[in-house]
Structure 1
Amino acid sequence: MNDAIRTPEGEALTDLILTVFRVNNLTLTWGDRLVAPLGLTSARWQILGAIALADRLQPVAWLARDLGANRQNVQRIVNDLAKEGLVEFQPNPHHRRAHLVVLTDKGQRTYDAAIRAYDPRANALAEGLSVQDIKTTHRVMLALRQKLEGENDAEKHG
């Protein structure tokens, strides 16, 4: 028998987490459909975006960290993107074995095409939602992310 008692905050958070799971799955399916004509999946698009939007060139491990993803999964996808000519590896002056991942011209064009397809769809999804509600939800999600990252870090080091 479970003797734990969930607080009202814990109950509300549980409802939010269950909704986030569902929205995440729906978002990935939506993204897959959106970028399929470009030969991408949501996962490939996400990694292209991480590379395109980074303020400096990064190795796979840093991309994975920034995405909160498993390094091996990111490496597999980056390798696939390299085979398709969307990214390439360049020497890393700070680490001999951890090459930097760079968008090729083809990769940049593909990413730009994905964003051109995304923008009107994002605008349509946002219809009827207030900017204030979206920003509040974003702040809550960021706070939850920080707490979860703190817990995960504590488990790794403790």
Structure 2
Amino acid sequence: MTDSSLYSLIWMSRPLMQAAEASVEAGLSGTGLTVRMRAVLEMLHAHGDQTVPEIAQRLEIKRQYVQLMVNETGAAGLTEPRANPRHKRSPLLSLTETGRALIDGVVARERALVDRIGADLDPAEVDAALRIVQTLTTRLKSHAKDMP
């Protein structure tokens, strides 16, 4: 491996994420969801009821921004707050039946797309790529924390 290959791999993350976001956004057409609303629904779909701080931690974004996202999903009737036995001032956020049905459909369409675009990729190479990206992400985060 050359240094320039690793450098290129790291910087390809931006166009990859932009293409993924554009594809996700196109897949949301007609659902009434925005990409950021979808992110909240995805977290609740994947991990169950959560507080705003828990969602923020998983998405690695500021809690205040997640609160805006949660406000949108609540106003659309896709999520609802529930009592949190662990913390009185930080309610658990839950999917409503409408929200669950909507995110189930979105995730199913996205998984079908991933199956189509990845049909000719070697699963071992995909696993290796995933391990490399995870390692690079961890190392770059650690480096950023160590900087003055």
Could you tell me the TM-score, scaled by structure 1's length?
A: 0.84
What is the aligned partner in structure 2 of residue 31 from structure 1? Answer: 24
Q: Greater relative contact order (Cα 8 A, min sep 6): structure 1 or 2? A: 2
Question: Which one has a larger percent strand, Structure 1 or Structure 2?
Answer: 1
Question: Mapping of 1:4-23 within 5 angstroms?
Answer: 10-23=3-16
1:80 equivalent in alignment to 2:76: no
Structure showing greater Rg: 1
CA, structure 1 residues 151+33, in 2 after alignment: closer, same or farther (shift >3 Å)? same
TM-superposed CA distance for 1:11, in Å, is: 3.1
TM-superposed CA distance for 1:152, in Å, is: 4.6
What is the aligned partner in structure 2 of residue 5 from structure 1? Answer: none
Aligned length in residues: 148
What is the aligned partner in structure 2 of residue 53 from structure 1? Answer: 46
CA, structure 1 residues 100+10, in 2 after alignment: closer, same or farther (shift >3 Å)? farther
What is the aligned partner in structure 2 of residue 68 from structure 1? Answer: 60
| Identity among equivalent pairs (%) | 22
What is the aligned partner in structure 2 of residue 129 from structure 1? Answer: 121
> What do residues 22-47 of structure 1 show as CA deviations (whole Å, max 9, x unaligned)?
11011101100011221123322222
Q: Runs of 5+ in structure 1 lacking a partner?
A: 1-7
Pairwise CA RMSD: 1.9
TM-superposed CA distance for 1:50, in Å, is: 0.9
Which one-letter code corresponds to 1:60 in the other structure? V
> What do residues 98-120 of structure 1 show as CA deviations (whole Å, max 9, x unaligned)?
11111111110001110222222
Task: Return the alpha-carbon distance in structure 2 between the equivalents of residues 145 and 101 of structure 1.
Answer: 29
CA, structure 1 residues 59+148, in 2 after alignment: closer, same or farther (shift >3 Å)? farther
Task: Return the alpha-carbon distance in structure 2 between the equivalents of residues 153 and 66 of structure 1.
Answer: 18
Which one-letter code corresponds to 1:29 in the other structure? A
Point out the more displaced range, 8-17 or 43-52: 8-17
TM-superposed CA distance for 1:138, in Å, is: 0.8
Match of 1:40 among 33, 51, 60: 33
Could you tell me the TM-score, scaled by structure 2's length?
A: 0.89
TM-superposed CA distance for 1:149, in Å, is: 3.4
Which one-letter code corresponds to 1:39 in the other structure? G
What is the aligned partner in structure 2 of residue 4 from structure 1? Answer: none
